[in-house]
Amino acid sequence: MSYASKLLYTYPRTFNVDARVLTATVDDLKDCAQACTADADDDLSEPDVAELVMCIRLCLDCADICTTTVGVTSRQTEYDANVTRPLLQVCMATCKSAGDECERHAMMHEHCRVCAEACRHCERACQEVLNAIM
Amino acid sequence: MSYASKLLYTYPRTFNVDARVLTATVDDLKDCAQACTADADDDLSEPDVAELVMCIRLCLDCADICTTTVGVTSRQTEYDANVTRPLLQVCMATCKSAGDECERHAMMHEHCRVCAEACRHCERACQEVLNAIM
Amino acid sequence: MSYASKLLYTYPRTFNVDARVLTATVDDLKDCAQACTADADDDLSEPDVAELVMCIRLCLDCADICTTTVGVTSRQTEYDANVTRPLLQVCMATCKSAGDECERHAMMHEHCRVCAEACRHCERACQEVLNAIM
Amino acid sequence: MSYASKLLYTYPRTFNVDARVLTATVDDLKDCAQACTADADDDLSEPDVAELVMCIRLCLDCADICTTTVGVTSRQTEYDANVTRPLLQVCMATCKSAGDECERHAMMHEHCRVCAEACRHCERACQEVLNAIM
């Protein structure tokens, strides 16, 4: 069991969403943030870096937004739906943008293929939490 | 002139929004992020910390979201309206939530009054960029 | 295999440290950052929050520093030992401070016990990377 | 007066360092973080981006580390010298690395010249806080 799970199960108050769904999403968000940071760096190491500028930029955005979403969704105390919901939607948007662009380079660069997979995965996970909190 | 201004004026490509509006907003976002971090910490130092739990939580969210918005709006290359627009809206929502809660404690705690001011200011600044990029 | 592993194995250039050690550490850093964010929030939900102020503060520091260390260690391109080494040492210091304080509350609060474990784990992982890059 | 100043002057407990020194440094750290984010993005927009890979990487590190240092130094409650001191030293190291590399491109790119200035400024500010807390 991941620390995210363990900590959600020891939370002292009642929960706002299904703990299993939330836990899985927090783990996917962390993975996607790191994958995007690593992929942007991989792109910088490629001889054709000039072709990968859009990929780098979108991955930097996606990494920042996923990291922030880990923070906000890890906080259960005084949960604020007015912020959490639209933030999950932004997170889906950035995962879609980064995922689409990574996919365009997936044939040329294995790291972009892996990163696209992490983005798609995270996008679906955010949708699942959104469904659970609606 | 702030470094944010200087760097926007030396950007090598054409711009997506009015540079003055964007620059002012980036500065307001930075200030709000730091104000919320400091106010959450001030709350932790108060004898009535138990009354300030919601204020701390909302300030932590606001600090994270503003910091991420500084990053995304500071990147002009391959600008992605599908991410920037809804992110600015989330930023307004978190500034409103944190600002409202800080205002409730403004009479008791001067640091909450100052932080509410920073949140209101930042909320308006995000609206101005949103108007400028629509 | 985690995305962190997959992305390290697809890195286009030669590596600065043993990929397995680095990968494991990146995963531990992500887990510790999230555990500290969640534990600070759990503390805020406790009726004895006033007793947990130091724990909250040290966990907030630890979360921020671990997140930054995920970023820096995930970047392999133009690796800078002058920054990475002392950063890993700061990371060990913050894990020790947060872990010690969490441990003091471990008997009373299960979430602090879990977070202490995450901090100890991460501290050891940073030491292993430090040994590998020396 | 900046919000950083106002919030430091409304802090409910006694202070660990000279408030004026700390306030100035927090503002410099925020500026440097944003300058490095913007400069990395400016580099991505340049036709000779392949020559600027090291500059981008070091600026990404510097932005992350300065942002984290804003957080840690903005928290006065239960101040932990074991973390703050070495973190300020890492911050100086990353400002030096990024500043040196930016300076190498200062003749070719005005944005690198501005960013080098922000890095030098921030490095000195960290040294001043270090002197004040020793």
Instruction: Tell me which residue in D64, D78, D86 faces C68 most closely, judged by beta carbons.
Output: D64
Q: Give B64 or A11, the one with higher predicted confidence.
A: B64
Mean pLDDT, rounded, for D108-134:
95
What are the tens digits of pLDDT across the range C97-119?
999 999 999 999 999 999 999 99
Cβ contact, residue pair D94, C75, below 8 Å: no
Mean pLDDT, rounded, for D79-97:
96
Q: Which segments in chain B show pLDDT lower than 70?
A: 15-16, 134
Is A56 within 8 Å of chain D by CB? yes
CA geometry: angle C53, C56, C61, nearest 5 deg: 130
Sign, CA dihedral B63-B66-B68-B74, equals negative
Contacting residues of C for B44, CB less than 8 Å apart: 53, 56-57
For every residue of A26-79, DSSP letters joined together read HHHHHHHHHHHHHHHHHHHHSTTGGGGHHHHHHHHHHHHHHHHHHHHHH--TT-
- Asked whether the beta carbons of A36 and C3 are under 8 A apart, the reply is no
What are the tens digits of pLDDT across the range A45-104?
999 999 999 999 999 999 999 999 999 999 998 889 999 999 999 999 999 999 999 999
D9: pLDDT confidence band, cut at 50, 70 and 90?
confident
Q: Which residue in C92, B6, A41, A60 sits closest to D58, CA to CA?
A: A41
- Could you give the CA distance from residue C45 to residue D7 in angstroms, rounded to a whole number? 25
Contacting residues of D for A53, CB less than 8 Å apart: 44-45, 49
A17: pLDDT confidence band, cut at 50, 70 and 90?
confident
Cβ contact, residue pair C42, A7, below 8 Å: yes
What are the tens digits of pLDDT across the range C7-25?
877 777 776 678 788 889 9
pTM above 0.90, yes or no: yes
- Asked whether the beta carbons of C80 and D97 are under 8 A apart, the reply is yes
Chain B interface, best mutation among A59, A77, A83, by max B CB count within 10 A: A83
- Could you give the CA distance from residue D64 to residue D129 in angstroms, rounded to a whole number? 19
D20: pLDDT confidence band, cut at 50, 70 and 90?
confident
Chain C residue with the nearest C-alpha to that of B50: C49
Contacting residues of D for B32, CB less than 8 Å apart: 3
Is A100 within 8 Å of chain B by CB? no
pLDDT-above-90 percentage for chain D: 77
D134: pLDDT confidence band, cut at 50, 70 and 90?
low
Is C4 within 8 Å of chain A by CB? yes
